[in-house]
Chain A
Amino acid sequence: EADIYQTPRYLVIGTGKKITLECSQTMGHDKMYWYQQDPGMELHLIHYSYGVNSTEKGDLSSESTVSRIRTEHFPLTLESARPSHTSQYLCASSDRSGPTDTQYFGPGTRLTVL
């Protein structure tokens, strides 16, 4: 069982607000990821990190930003939320030293921007 947490689970917010989605893991995993998923669609990688002070953009362009100051923490920030940002955001982590590098997911944050 993976120990990865996301808060809030649900967020409804108005256009133009700044938001931060939290993600924490207690497994000491060095790799962390953010995915975006719309209903009936695949998960799209928007950001990833291979360790502290390392962040990269994923395959899907996103206006969000991320930071990785501590191994266990990988927050995602939207400076000015828009209705097009409405989606489910999923955080994951994996252990680079493992042979399979399986990604384990948090419960997700369902974001609705009005």
Chain B
Amino acid sequence: DQQVKQNSPSLSVQEGRISILNCDYTNSMFDYFLWYKKYPAEGPTFLISISSIKDKNEDGRFTVFLNKSAKHLSLHIVPSQPGDSAVYFCAARGSNYKLTFGKGTLLTVNP
């Protein structure tokens, strides 16, 4: 039973356009959500997070939106750059501060 779902395995976007990565969750007890970026053969790199008491958090080109009633969050990257091409993981924090991860979405930004 997957508690964090990233339903799009891949996404292709043109350079300069907006990339929108989506994530759905089922556990209403999750209190914190994080996005990580992962290049092949490297560990995940923390990007941005949001508390469950907020609906938006922005850091430079990255903005995360949280819709608690829909149990949905999204990561917006604007403008997208070729260096953003990577796998993006959504993660949710539950009891004992443990993280539950989605399967990731492969973002490809075309020049």
Which positions in A face B, CB cutoff 8 Å?
Answer: 2, 4, 6, 9, 31, 40-45, 48, 58-59, 90-92, 94, 96, 100-108, 110
Task: Verify A42–B43 contact, CB threshold 8 A.
Answer: no
Contacts of B27 in A (CB 8 A): none
Interface size class of B (residues with CB under 8 A): 20 to 34
Task: Verify A100–B32 contact, CB threshold 8 A.
Answer: yes
Task: Verify B97–A31 contact, CB threshold 8 A.
Answer: yes
Query: Known contacts A42-B104, A45-B99, A94-B97: does B45 contact A105 (CB below 8 Å)?
Result: yes
Task: Verify B45–A40 contact, CB threshold 8 A.
Answer: no
Task: Verify A42–B32 contact, CB threshold 8 A.
Answer: no
Which 10 A-B pairs give the minimum distances between C-beta atoms?
A105-B43, A42-B101, A43-B101, A105-B44, A42-B103, A108-B43, A107-B43, A106-B43, A101-B97, A90-B43
Q: In the assembly, what is the distance between CA of A104 and CA of B42, in Å?
A: 12
Task: Verify B99–A107 contact, CB threshold 8 A.
Answer: no
Task: Verify A59–B98 contact, CB threshold 8 A.
Answer: yes
Minimum CB–CB distance from A104 to chain B (whole Å) comes to 6
Q: Determine chain B's interface SS by DSSP, over half rule.
A: strand
Other-chain residue from B41, B89, B97 in contact with A108 (beta carbon distance below 8 A)? B41
Contacts of A41 in B (CB 8 A): 103
Does B76 interact with chain A (Cβ within 8 Å)?
no
Minimum CB–CB distance from A45 to chain B (whole Å) comes to 6
Task: Verify A45–B43 contact, CB threshold 8 A.
Answer: no
Q: Could you jot down 10 A-B contacts, CB within 8 Å?
A: A31-B97, A42-B2, A43-B99, A43-B101, A58-B98, A94-B97, A102-B34, A105-B43, A105-B46, A106-B43
Task: Verify A110–B41 contact, CB threshold 8 A.
Answer: yes
Does B72 interact with chain A (Cβ within 8 Å)?
no
Minimum CB–CB distance from B111 to chain A (whole Å) comes to 25
Q: In the assembly, what is the distance between CA of A58 and CA of B96, in Å?
A: 11
Does B49 interact with chain A (Cβ within 8 Å)?
yes
CB closest chain-B residue, reference A96:
B97
Task: Verify A48–B43 contact, CB threshold 8 A.
Answer: no
